[in-house]
Amino acid sequence: MTRSEEWFERAQKVLPGGVNSPVRAFRAVGGRPRFIVKGLGSHVLDEDGLEYIDYVGSWGPMVLGHSHPDILKAVYDRMVCGLSFGAPTALEVEMAEKMIGMVPHIEMVRMVNSGTEAVMSAVRLARGATGRDKLIKFEGCYHGHSDAMLVGAGSGALTQGEPDSRGVTRGAAQDTLMAQYNDLASVERLLDANPNQVAAVIVEPVAANMGVVPPKDGFLQGLRRLCDKHGSLLIFDEVITGFRLAAGGAQEYFGVRADLVTFGKIIGGGMPVGAYAGSRALMEQVAPCGPVYQAGTLSGNPVAMAAGLAQLTILADHPEVYTVMETGARYIANHLRESAKRHGVALQVNQIGSLLCPYFTEQPVDCFAAAQESNTKLYAKYFNEMLLRGVYLAPSQFEAMFVSSAHTQNDLACTVQAVEESIAALA
Ligand code: PMP
């Protein structure tokens, strides 16, 4: 038995499924999860001393790779002053100023502790501000595990085949209406059928919890137009895309304004952080200024803020990082396509910015239904072949592959070599 297997045996006795978040259990791909000891740059090391080129990157936040020296230093310097006070600190102000300086159309920020919390709070604010109850979300988009969002959700909820979780009451789910990603008509129908009742349309600007599905030309612009027409707010859930697609996130990348934006892991640089942001008029409806209540003992935690601020500062000061990541992602995507062609394997690769995802199917994947039709068994096989060759991918079809700025030319060369061998093994 490997040490990872030994730990997994122990873990299963004390943690449900041996993990603290479902996808980590490797159930979608078979095999046993690797227990990670440490990460450096683009690599992680497991309990058995095996090293992997990491394309999970803690599911997105490690845009600069693991253990970036500036971020670690910021954390060390801050933690010796105390870990939490539950009182204001200057860092929270600097963090909000930094975010507002980078992201278009936001004037105020409220920090929380996770993406789930950010979305839950933004949705409450949207309902409070509009006086409307209903929400439109897209099937296969994941917005965390708050009750109202566990309806037609993607990510782990999708691979488990249980998009609608037990324990979510009919009451909590009934106001969540389901539209189809990249299908404006499906949104329009719901808005028309529920006049003056829809508080917000919430969307992942790039759907990254059904694999990676970029928005079709005009889709996000169309959502903006429909929201304006119907008096609904547009919420961009930028937990994945924020500060990754561009320094200003999807609003900058696509040139579309959202009313509220949610952020997560990336703004913590690996620490547990989330935030929601919007115009002053909207954000001042939040307590203690306004009637929408939302709070958090550890929100704006100084150590987490130090890590996040250090990461955002590097991103703001080094815009070339985005070109580096995109170039790496495109390189891998092209090699995936070439290997698949060479070996006669049906494969579609979606790539945008530093995000990519291979789907084993003949059909272009531009919507949730198409993503679902891809061959997930073949993905599982591909995943395990890559893992054997030292490349650590998302252990599920319905997640993104994240390229960081720490991935070197050598990493990329090793990765495409592994791709060639793995695809050959599938053929
Ligand atoms: N929104 C999106 C788009 C996400 O991808 C995720 C998680 N990956 C969340 C919300 C939830 O964030 P968290 O896991 O930090 O609660």
DSSP code of residue 181: T
Residues 382/423, Cβ–Cβ less than 8 Å: yes
What value does the mean pLDDT take over residues 233-255? 98
Tell me the best of 240, 244, 267, 299 to mutate to test the pocket of ligand 1, counting ligand atoms within 8 Å of each CB and taking the most: 240
Single pTM value for the model = 0.97
Please report the DSSP string for 260-305 in residue order: EEEE-GGGGBTBS-EEEEE-HHHHTTBTTTSSB----TTTT-HHHH
Indicate if the alpha-carbon torsion angle 201, 206, 208, 212 is positive or negative: positive
Tokens representing 418 are: 């592994």
pLDDT digits (tens, 9 = 90+) for 283-304: 999 999 999 999 999 999 999 9
Q: Give the 3-state secondary structure of residue 353.
A: coil
What value does the mean pLDDT take over residues 157-180? 79
Given the CA of residue 119, which atom of ligand 1 is nearest to it? 10
Q: How confident is the model at residue 162 (pLDDT cuts 50, 70, 90)?
A: very low
Q: What is the pLDDT of residue 315?
A: 98
Q: What is the pLDDT of residue 172?
A: 86
What distance in angstroms lies between residue 43's CA and the mean position of ligand 1's atoms? 23
Average pLDDT, the chain: 96
pLDDT digits (tens, 9 = 90+) for 62-114: 999 999 999 999 999 999 999 999 999 999 999 999 999 999 999 999 999 99
Query: Burial level of 316, CB count in 10 A (0-12/13-18/19+)?
Result: middle
pLDDT digits (tens, 9 = 90+) for 311-322: 999 999 999 999
Other Cβ atoms closer than 10 A to 218: 11
Question: What domains are defined for the chain?
Answer: 3-67+319-426 (3.90.1150.10), 69-317 (3.40.640.10)
pLDDT digits (tens, 9 = 90+) for 358-393: 999 999 999 999 999 999 999 999 999 999 999 999
Q: Is the pLDDT of residue 170 over 90?
A: no
Tokens representing 222 are: 């169309």
Nearest CA to ligand 1 atom 13: 115
Q: How confident is the model at residue 160 (pLDDT cuts 50, 70, 90)?
A: low
Residues 213/181, Cβ–Cβ less than 8 Å: yes
The Cα–Cα gap between 115 and 47 comes to: 29
Q: What is the pLDDT of residue 18?
A: 98
Residues near 412 by beta carbon (within 8 Å), at least 6 away in sequence: 328, 331, 332
Residues near 141 by beta carbon (within 8 Å), at least 6 away in sequence: 152, 153, 154, 181, 202, 203, 204, 207, 209, 210, 237
Given the CA of residue 115, which atom of ligand 1 is nearest to it? 12
Q: What is the pLDDT of residue 117?
A: 98
Read off the amino acid at residue 142.
Answer: Y
The Cα–Cα gap between 236 and 54 comes to: 27
3-state helix/strand/coil string of 198-241: EEEEEECCCECCCCCECCCCCHHHHHHHHHHHHCCEEEEECCCC
Q: Lay out the sheet containing 274-278: strands in order across.
A: 108-112, 274-278, 260-263, 233-237, 198-203, 134-138, 176-179
Nearest CA to ligand 1 atom 7: 144
Count H helices and E strands in the chain, helices first: 15, 14
Tell me the best of 58, 111, 141, 209 to mutate to test the pocket of ligand 1, counting ligand atoms within 8 Å of each CB and taking the most: 209
Residues 300/267, Cβ–Cβ less than 8 Å: no
What distance in angstroms lies between residue 11's CA and the mean position of ligand 1's atoms? 24
The Cα–Cα gap between 243 and 257 comes to: 15
Q: Give the 3-state secondary structure of residue 45.
A: strand
Q: How confident is the model at residue 161 (pLDDT cuts 50, 70, 90)?
A: very low
What value does the mean pLDDT take over residues 177-200? 97
Indicate if the alpha-carbon torsion angle 206, 207, 212, 214 is positive or negative: negative
Q: What percent of the chain has pLDDT over 90?
A: 94
Query: Burial level of 216, CB count in 10 A (0-12/13-18/19+)?
Result: middle
The residues carrying an active-site annotation are: 142, 237, 265
What distance in angstroms lies between residue 114's CA and the mean position of ligand 1's atoms? 7
Cα 177 off chain centre by: 22
What distance in angstroms lies between residue 346's CA and the mean position of ligand 1's atoms? 30
pLDDT digits (tens, 9 = 90+) for 13-69: 999 999 999 999 999 999 899 999 999 999 999 999 999 999 999 999 999 999 999
Q: Which residue has the tokens 């306004």?
A: 290
Write down the ipTM of this complex. 0.99
Q: Which residues line ligand 1 (CB under 6 A)?
A: 59, 114-116, 119, 142-144, 204, 209, 237, 239-240, 264-265, 274
The Cα–Cα gap between 262 and 270 comes to: 17
What distance in angstroms lies between residue 265's CA and the mean position of ligand 1's atoms? 8
